[in-house]
Each structure stands twice: as C-alpha cells, then as structure tokens.
C-alpha cells in the first residue's frame, strides 16, 4: 500500500505541474499578445490616460489713457506648480475705481468683455489661446522630462485711449457736484479736441464701478453720451445758423421781429423766455429767441436744410468705437409737417445723442470740418514701446471757414451778454450755447410737463477753440435753465483745466486762481483685487454751517468771519436754499451759493419760471385750482405773486417754450 500510495502522489504532482505549466504558457502567450501583438493599442490607451491637452490662457491686454496711466488691468497672475507655461487669472481691476467706468466696461468670469471698450475691443484685448500636451500620473503630477507638443498663447494687445485721466476726473467731479446742486436725475459731460476729434473726457453720472458691479445701480452702466436720445433744444440753433449763413440766406446783422415773445406758427403759439422786439440775428442767438430762429429757419428750402443736417451727422451714428450707439431721429423731408422745418430750427422735432451734438459743434470750432470721434489712440503689443496708431479722420467739410468764424462770434455773444453771462470770465473769453427742452414721453410721444433736459455747449478759448465741451443734465429740479444748470458745470471744468500742468489742449491764463488737487492712483501701480484708490479732490476749510431759514443779513454775519466766498441768488430777505449743503466743505476756488426768497402765508406764491410740476405742487397745496395753457415753463401767472389768496380761487398759468 505504501508503494501504491506513492505512485498516486507522483501522478498528482505531475498533473499539478502540468497544470501550472499550462498556466505559465498561457500567461507568456498573453504577455506576448499584449506586449507584441497589441502593443500599439495599449500604448495609445496609456497615453490617453496620462497625457492631456492643456489650454494656455493669454495675458489680457491693458487699457491705458493717453499718458499711459493704467485704467483696466489684470488683477494678478498665477503659474502652475512646476513653473511651466502660464495661466492667467481672468479677474479684471480698474485701479481708479469708477473713473470712466461706463467707457471701460467689464469682463465676465469667462474672460470675455461684457460692456464698454472691454466688449468693443475684446478680440484685441483677449489675444488667442495656446495649448500643450503634458504627461501626468494618477496623482496629477507633472513629468517635466516628457517633451510635449505645444503652441504658445498670443497675449492681447494694450489699448491706449485718447482720454486723459486728469481731465476725466475733473469732468466727473464737476458733473457730480453740479447734478447734486440742481437735484437732477442723471447727466453726461464730454470734452473734445475739435481739431482731432479726440475724446479727452467722457463722464456719466450716476457713476459705475466695474470693480463692484453687483452693487452698482441697474442703469448706471449705460453710457449716456452714446445711448441717450433727446431733443437738443436751443443748443441746436448753432447748426441752424451755420446752414443759413452758409447759404447766404441771412447775415449776423440782419434783423428779425421777436414779436415781443409770442408768435403763432401753424396753429400753435411759440413763446420766448426772454421776449424781444426787432433784434439782429446775432442777438437772437445770444438771447436764444425761438421765434426769430423759427422765422429764419424758413428762409431756405426744406431739402437744403435737411442736407445740412445730414452733413453735420444727424440721423446717423458717429461710428465711435463704443457699443450700443444710437443714431438719433431725423425724419425725411417727405414726412415733415407745415411747421417741422421752423421747429427743428430751434431744436425740436428731432432727436440727437450728446456725442452727435458735440461733434457737430466741434466742426464749427474746427473751421467747418467735421471729424470722426476718436476714443482709441493706439494699440500696443505687450509692454513694447512701439504702438500702432489709430489715426484721426476727417469726415467732411460742412461749412466754409468764413461761416464757421461768423457762428463762433455769435456764440461768444451768448456768454458775453446773453443767456450764459453767469459763467463769463474777464480774463478768458469763452463761447457757447445754452439749451432747455422738455422731455418726451417715449410711450405717448407727447411732452412731459415740467421735466427737462438742460444743456450747455461750450468752446474755449473763444478766439481759437482748443476745447469743446457738452454738459447735459437730465431732469433738474431747480435752476433748470441751461445757463443756470449746465453752464456752471462747464465753467468749473474750464477753471480747473486752465491751471492744469502740461495740458493736452492749450488752455491758459495768467489770472486763473489755483484749482483743487486731483489725486489719482499711481500709474503702473501693482494693485491686488479690491485695492483701488478712487479719484477724489482734497477738501479744504471748515464744515459749512446751516444758514437756511435765516435772514440774508444774519447769513452774512455768520459767514463773514469764516472768510467764505458767498454769492446770493434771487430776490428776498430769507435764505431758502444753499449749495454746497450744510456740513460739507468748500473746495479751493469754490463759492457758497445762497438762494433768497420770501415766505408770506396767505399770499399768492411766485411760480413764474417754474416748471408746471413745481407750480402745481405749490399752488394746489394751498387749496387753489389751477388752469394752464400752452407747453413749457410758467411765463406768466394770474393773480400775480403776493396777491391775497381767496377761497376756491383759480390761478391761471401761461406756459411757453424754453430758450
């Protein structure tokens, strides 16, 4: 049994060995199959799992002003752990906060521009992606010895603007202060070099800060200079004058009858804020006579007038490199009514954008040559010193040099003795045109009683304009005429630009007073996300006391020891309003403005020159019935101011067009 048992064990061992041999042979065959016969397939599978295609993001170009101050930059840069290739954080930072925020726009989380110049020039700023093939293990560790295939990213180009940060800051500060002074809804201010068409400053209020857009007002991102469409009112009279003088239909010294401020046109009464009898065409411009311009507007054929309007660029886009530009509204002659030509002559029955209007005015300041607006001065590859110039372009000659000179002389009269005398400087001659026009309801197409656009077109210096500016204020609640509301903003801008060192445009005077210091973030400063220094002026002086409700004499006695410059407005013995407000401080060169008036319980208030809305509020609060006729401001009231109020009495208001 022992021998037989050994034989069985041997057979088992042989069988087991044979089995293991078969397994070994199978494994060798499998290895041969995998490593030889299917080697290429498995190599491809291995590569697909360990080699991946990485996208290399380019550096987004920066946006700079004309002096290479950085306006929009990349917040920071990050590299991969091994230092191979570059991947940029797409966060965008505006070092000066809200400065020119609507112009610059913002960049989305996907790295694409979403507004302003960031959108318009997204392709140039963004550059193009690169790529690389790199080997990684299961723990995503990179193997540098692997020689990857790659294509380098192409960095975006820097965009150099025509804006000057100092002028932009001054314009924004003056605009904000002016709008707060008159209690307006919003506004815009544009400064242009008429000889090149360069936009030197483009301010919109309310401001928009791309760094904190989630906290911005819903409408603040809109660039009013190119998107707002409105009736220009009397600022348009310089265009009418240009067409008439070029056609020799009238001369500056020719006279027209102002009809003492009231004239019937096609069944509707046209009124002047400053009634006049027979006056010269130049005086009609200075005093902003709607009646005289309506009469003069009919001295040339309608198709000829229309041709001039189109030549100045109305009814079409200017072509500026900003998104969402509107083209305004100018009806073809075939759609004009019996009064359209005369109404357009003083700035109604057509719509313009602020940019259209200032470029047309700049053509007059540029000897009659219309320029295309330019906001991008050049493109630059990376940080190189070489830049590709974006040249300024002439559009066309709209009037002769002789006509342009005549119109400029007429516009100087507006400041010297007309509707803008409040901003006159003895040492620095300026020209310009005021404008006040009722707003139109976009739904009904009718005028909104008591709501206005107030504006001022300014040119400086008057004898050879190096700067043209437009200030437009939307829905001011007080000081609503263009000469009272918008013109002071232009004056403040000019006062500060005159003493600006190394100016872009040649504005100078030896008698100018020092201006407040403009504080900007340093050019080229390396700032982290969220760390930005907003533009501001240094305050000076003590906080202003509250003198509202006091007598004019008491106000003088309180303010005189403080050495504050004070200017009184209106007629009366009581201070009804003050600007800047109590608790604020005066900036260098500023004046404290006090509005005087009277409060007589039981007597008829003075509502002449008020908007209809303000007049209705004041009169109805006294229990009076109100009957009004016409459109525009209150030109006359009956009973007059100061009369005793009778129970159930009706007050009759006569409204008229604004100058």
The pLDDT tens digits of the residues spanning 623-646 come to 677 887 776 678 888 888 777 777
Describe the crossing of helices 237-246 and 302-311 by its angle, rounded to 10 degrees.
120
Q: How confident is the model at residue 561 (pLDDT cuts 50, 70, 90)?
A: confident
pLDDT value for 224: 93
Sheet holding 625-629, edge to edge: 625-629, 650-656, 633-638
**More confident of the two residues 151 and 60:** 60
Q: How many Å from the N-terminal Cα to the C-terminal Cα in the chain?
A: 136
Q: How confident is the model at residue 546 (pLDDT cuts 50, 70, 90)?
A: confident
pLDDT value for 624: 74
Judge whether residue 537 has pLDDT over 80.
no
**Range of weakest confidence among 37-51, 228-242, 359-373:** 37-51
pLDDT value for 519: 38
Angle of CA points 645, 651, 653, to nearest 5°: 145
Describe the crossing of helices 401-416 and 237-246 by its angle, rounded to 10 degrees.
140
pLDDT value for 85: 40
Of 218, 176, 217, nearest to 535 (Cα)? 176
Judge whether residue 234 has pLDDT over 70.
yes
Judge whether residue 523 has pLDDT over 70.
no
**Range of weakest confidence among 53-62, 200-209, 527-536, 563-572:** 527-536
Whether residue 277 has a cis bond before it, omega within 30° of 0: no
What contacts 479, CB < 8 A, 6 or more positions away? 181, 182, 485
Per-residue pLDDT of 295-351, as tens digits, reads 999 999 999 999 999 999 999 999 999 999 999 999 999 999 989 999 999 999 999
pTM: 0.71
pLDDT value for 7: 73
Judge whether residue 439 has pLDDT over 50.
yes
pLDDT value for 310: 96
Please, where are the H alpha helices in 322-476? 340-345, 354-365, 401-416
pLDDT value for 91: 72
**More confident of the two residues 553 and 300:** 300
Per-residue pLDDT of 452-494, as tens digits, reads 899 999 999 999 999 999 999 999 988 888 998 999 999 999 9
pLDDT value for 55: 73
pLDDT value for 645: 77
pLDDT value for 246: 97
* Beta-carbon count within 10 A of 232 CB: 30
Judge whether residue 272 has pLDDT over 50.
yes
Per-residue pLDDT of 45-57, as tens digits, reads 555 555 666 777 7
Q: How confident is the model at residue 502 (pLDDT cuts 50, 70, 90)?
A: confident
Q: How confident is the model at residue 595 (pLDDT cuts 50, 70, 90)?
A: low
Q: What is the average per-residue pLDDT within 159-186?
A: 93
Q: What is the average per-residue pLDDT within 192-220?
A: 84
Burial pattern 457-484, b for ≥16 Cβ within 10 A else e, equals bbbbbbeebbbbbbbbbbbbbbbbbbbb
Q: How confident is the model at residue 236 (pLDDT cuts 50, 70, 90)?
A: very high
The span from the CA of 32 to the CA of 262, in Å, is 109
Of 331, 319, 306, nearest to 231 (Cα)? 331
pLDDT value for 280: 96
The span from the CA of 229 to the CA of 350, in Å, is 10
The CA R_g of the chain, rounded to the nearest whole Å, is 36
pLDDT value for 556: 82
| Rounded percentage of the chain residues whose pLDDT exceeds 70 | 77
Q: How confident is the model at residue 381 (pLDDT cuts 50, 70, 90)?
A: confident
pLDDT value for 628: 79
Q: What is the average per-residue pLDDT within 591-602?
A: 63
Judge whether residue 590 has pLDDT over 80.
no
**Range of weakest confidence among 219-233, 356-370, 604-618:** 604-618
Cβ contact 352:361 at 8 Å? no
What contacts 445, CB < 8 A, 6 or more positions away? none
Q: How confident is the model at residue 179 (pLDDT cuts 50, 70, 90)?
A: very high
Per-residue pLDDT of 33-92, as tens digits, reads 666 666 666 555 555 555 666 777 788 899 999 999 999 988 754 444 444 444 444 478
pLDDT value for 196: 96
**Range of weakest confidence among 86-95, 274-283, 354-363:** 86-95
The span from the CA of 271 to the CA of 292, in Å, is 10
Tell me the C-alpha to C-alpha distance, in Å, between residue 274 and each of 67, 260, 285, 419, 609: 45, 9, 12, 9, 11
| Rounded percentage of the chain residues whose pLDDT exceeds 90 | 44
CA trace torsion 178, 183, 184, 185 (10° rounding): 130
Average pLDDT value over all residues in the chain? 81
Residue 18 burial class via C-beta count within 10 angstroms: exposed 0-12, middle 13-18, buried 19 and up: exposed
**Range of weakest confidence among 201-210, 398-407, 547-556:** 547-556
Judge whether residue 239 has pLDDT over 90.
yes
Please give the structure tokens belonging to residue 624. 């009076």
Please give the structure tokens belonging to residue 461. 């210096």
Q: How confident is the model at residue 588 (pLDDT cuts 50, 70, 90)?
A: low
pLDDT value for 37: 64
- Residue 377, classed as helix, strand or coil, is strand
Q: What is the average per-residue pLDDT within 238-258?
A: 96
């Amino acid at each position: 049994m022992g021998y037989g048992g050994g034989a069985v064990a041997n057979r088992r061992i042989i069988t087991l060995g044979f089995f293991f041999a078969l397994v070994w042979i199978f494994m060798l065959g499998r290895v041969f199959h995998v490593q030889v016969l299917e080697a290429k397939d498995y190599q491809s599978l291995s590569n697909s799992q360990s080699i991946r295609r990485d996208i290399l993001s380019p550096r987004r170009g920066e946006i700079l002003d004309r002096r290479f101050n950085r306006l929009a930059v990349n917040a920071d840069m990050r590299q991969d752990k091994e230092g191979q290739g570059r991947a940029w954080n797409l966060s965008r930072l505006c070092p000066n906060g809200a400065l020119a925020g609507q112009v610059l726009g913002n960049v989305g989380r996907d790295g694409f521009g979403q507004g302003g110049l960031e959108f318009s020039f997204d392709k140039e700023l963004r550059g193009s992606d690169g790529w690389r093939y790199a080997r990684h293990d299961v723990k995503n560790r990179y193997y540098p010895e692997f020689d990857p295939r790659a294509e380098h990213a192409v960095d975006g180009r820097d965009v150099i603007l025509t804006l000057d940060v100092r002028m932009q800051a001054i314009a924004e500060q003056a605009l904000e202060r002016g709008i707060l002074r008159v209690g307006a809804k919003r506004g815009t201010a544009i400064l242009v070099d008429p000889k090149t068409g360069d936009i030197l400053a483009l301010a919109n209020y309310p401001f928009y800060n791309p760094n904190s857009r989630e906290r911005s007002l819903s409408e603040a991102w809109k660039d009013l200079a190119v998107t707002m469409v409105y009736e220009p009112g009397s600022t348009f009279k310089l265009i009418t004058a240009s067409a008439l003088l070029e056609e020799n239909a009238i001369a500056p010294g020719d006279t027209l009858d102002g009809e003492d401020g009231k004239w019937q046109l096609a069944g509707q009464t046209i009124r002047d804020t400053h009634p006049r009898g027979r006056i010269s065409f130049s005086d009609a411009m200075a005093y902003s006579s709607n009646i005289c311009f309506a009469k003069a507007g009919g001295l040339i054929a309608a198709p000829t007038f229309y041709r001039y309007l189109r030549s100045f660029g109305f009814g079409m886009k200017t072509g500026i490199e900003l998104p969402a530009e509107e083209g305004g509204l100018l009806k073809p002659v075939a759609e004009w009514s019996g009064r359209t030509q005369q109404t357009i002559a003083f700035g109604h029955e057509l719509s313009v954008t602020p940019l259209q209007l200032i470029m047309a005015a700049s053509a007059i300041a540029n000897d009659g040559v219309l320029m295309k607006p330019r906001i991008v001065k050049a493109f630059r590859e990376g940080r190189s010193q070489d830049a590709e110039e974006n040249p300024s372009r002439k559009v066309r000659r709209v009037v002769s040099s002789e006509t342009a000179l005549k119109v400029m002389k007429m516009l100087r009269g507006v400041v010297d003795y007309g509707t803008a005398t409040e901003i006159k400087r003895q040492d620095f001659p300026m020209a310009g045109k005021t404008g006040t026009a009722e707003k139109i309801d976009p739904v009904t197409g009718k005028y909104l009683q008591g709501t206005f656009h107030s504006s001022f077109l300014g040119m400086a210096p008057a004898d050879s304009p190096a700067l043209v500016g437009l200030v437009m204020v939307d829905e001011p609640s007080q000081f609503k005429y263009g000469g009272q509301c918008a013109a002071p903003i232009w004056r403040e801008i000019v006062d500060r630009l005159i003493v600006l060192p190394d100016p872009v445009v040649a504005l100078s005077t030896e008698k100018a007073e020092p201006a407040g210091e403009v504080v900007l973030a340093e050019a080229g400063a390396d700032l982290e996300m969220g760390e930005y220094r907003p533009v501001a002026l240094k305050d000076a002086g003590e906080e202003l006391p509250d003198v509202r409700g006091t007598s004019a004499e008491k106000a003088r006695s309180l303010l005189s020891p403080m050495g504050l410059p004070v200017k009184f407005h209106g007629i009366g013995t009581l201070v009804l309003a003050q600007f800047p407000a109590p608790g604020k401080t005066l900036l260098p060169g500023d004046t404290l403005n006090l509005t005087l008036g009277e409060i007589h319980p039981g007597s008829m208030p003075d509502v002449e020159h008020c908007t209809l809305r303000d007049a209705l509020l004041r009169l109805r609060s006294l229990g009076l019935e109100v009957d009004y006729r016409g459109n525009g401001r209150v030109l006359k009231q009956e009973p007059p101011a100061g009369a005793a109020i009778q129970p159930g009495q009706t007050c009759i208001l006569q409204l008229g067009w604004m100058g």
